[in-house]
Amino acid sequence: MKILLATQKPFAAAAVKGITDILEGAGHQVVKLEKYEAQADLVKAAADAEALIIRSDKVTAEVIAAAPKLKIVVRAGAGYDNVDLEAATKAGVVVMNTPGQNSNAVAELAIAMMIFMARTQFTPATGSEVQGKTLGVQAFGNVGRLVGAKAKALGMKVKALDPFLTDEQIIAGGAEPVHTLDELYEGSDYLSLHIPALPSTIGSINYDLITKMPKGATLVNTARKEVIDEAGLEKALEDRPDLKYVTDVAPDNLAVLQEKFGLRVFATPKKMGAQTAEANVNAGLAAARQIVDYFATGNTKFQVNK
Ligand code: 3PG
């Protein structure tokens, strides 16, 4: 089978080699499209692909329509909001992710971002310590649980909200369960977002929620930019000069936020949460193995469009 590895943000060389070895070792052919500039490049490259490995690359209805031989797309990572699931399902294309494989990298970045903001972006201005502060984790999945564990090791109190988990599961994960967003936001000096971008979550982190946070609080977003109501965030930062926002997914109004709020806002230049050699290897090789297994045995364990 012809497998296209399409990564606008390329994997580390070790991951690319590992992916290639696994796929070629199983008799497949690997074609690479890395650092491409235009979506049209992906549409063109996918034309004769039977499988795709992607990261945040956009597998739109156009890509799927242009790839009549396509049978499977594996998003090497957790969030699959970049894949048009409806178009894939209609075309009979299986879509999978590789849950958990890059979680530690994202969790480490969330912790790093908290400390970076606590220390006023590493300027000499007097900062604060995270020890003794409360971290609220919104969505206690693979990443959220790791952030919680690392925060506890730093001496933080950890609370978590997750409508898909029982109190017992949250407690077993090392956090105190809370049951409403208001309660979570009101009690969190740091609030780390780990929700996916879904119709129900897009724009859900709004002015009302953000301004519920206590004095001096910081909102940490290593999830998706779409979950933030950007106008609401701007107004919250305006009305509450004590609040801070740090994100791995730059908002559309970043320039305005930086101009207005200076060191209270920080965004990474490009999403880098999962950009470690380890995460690249874990997620990339898992994706390759899932493709080999799917073609060999029909295994759809990680399919997200069942
Ligand atoms: C994910 O959903 O797995 C992360 O957001 C990582 O995305 P990336 O592979 O584009 O870095």
Same fold, 2-101+275-297 and 104-267: yes
pLDDT at 258: 96
Distance CA 81, CA 69 (A): 22
pLDDT at 288: 98
Q: Is the CB of 188 under 6 A from ligand 1?
A: no
pLDDT at 152: 98
DSSP for 111-132 reads: HHHHHHHHTGGGSSS-----TT
Please name the residue whose Cα sits nearest to atom 6 of ligand 1.
274
What atom in ligand 1 is closest to the CA of residue 97? 3
Distance CA 191, CA 14 (A): 34
The partner residues of 30 in beta bridges, in order of sequence, read 3
What atom in ligand 1 is closest to the CA of residue 79? 2
Which architecture, in CATH terms, is 104-267?
3-Layer(aba) Sandwich (3.40)
Distance CA 305, CA 163 (A): 21
- For residue 164, report the distance from its CA to the centre of ligand 1, in Å: 22
What atom in ligand 1 is closest to the CA of residue 98? 3
pLDDT at 25: 98
- For residue 78, report the distance from its CA to the centre of ligand 1, in Å: 6
Nearest to 98, CA basis, from 57, 138, 147, 53: 53
What atom in ligand 1 is closest to the CA of residue 272? 11
pLDDT at 126: 96
The structure tokens listed for 176 are 């105190």
To test the pocket of ligand 1, the residue of 271, 302, 304 to mutate (highest count of ligand atoms within 8 Å of its CB) is 271
Nearest to 161, CA basis, from 232, 107, 145, 212: 145
- Cα 294 from chain centroid (whole Å): 25
Which architecture, in CATH terms, is 2-101+275-297?
3-Layer(aba) Sandwich (3.40)
Low-confidence ranges of the chain (pLDDT < 50): none
Q: Is the CB of 93 under 6 A from ligand 1?
A: no
Nearest to 181, CA basis, from 151, 146, 206: 206
Q: Is the CB of 194 under 6 A from ligand 1?
A: no
How is the chain split into domains, by residue range?
A: 2-101+275-297, 104-267
pLDDT at 253: 95
Q: Is the CB of 284 under 6 A from ligand 1?
A: no
Backbone dihedral angles phi then psi of residue 72, each to the nearest 5 degrees: -150, 140
Sign of CA dihedral 75, 80, 84, 85: positive
Q: Is the CB of 274 under 6 A from ligand 1?
A: yes
Beta strands in the chain (DSSP E): 2-7, 29-34, 51-54, 72-75, 94-97, 134-138, 157-161, 176-177, 190-193, 218-221, 244-247, 265-267
Distance CA 67, CA 88 (A): 11
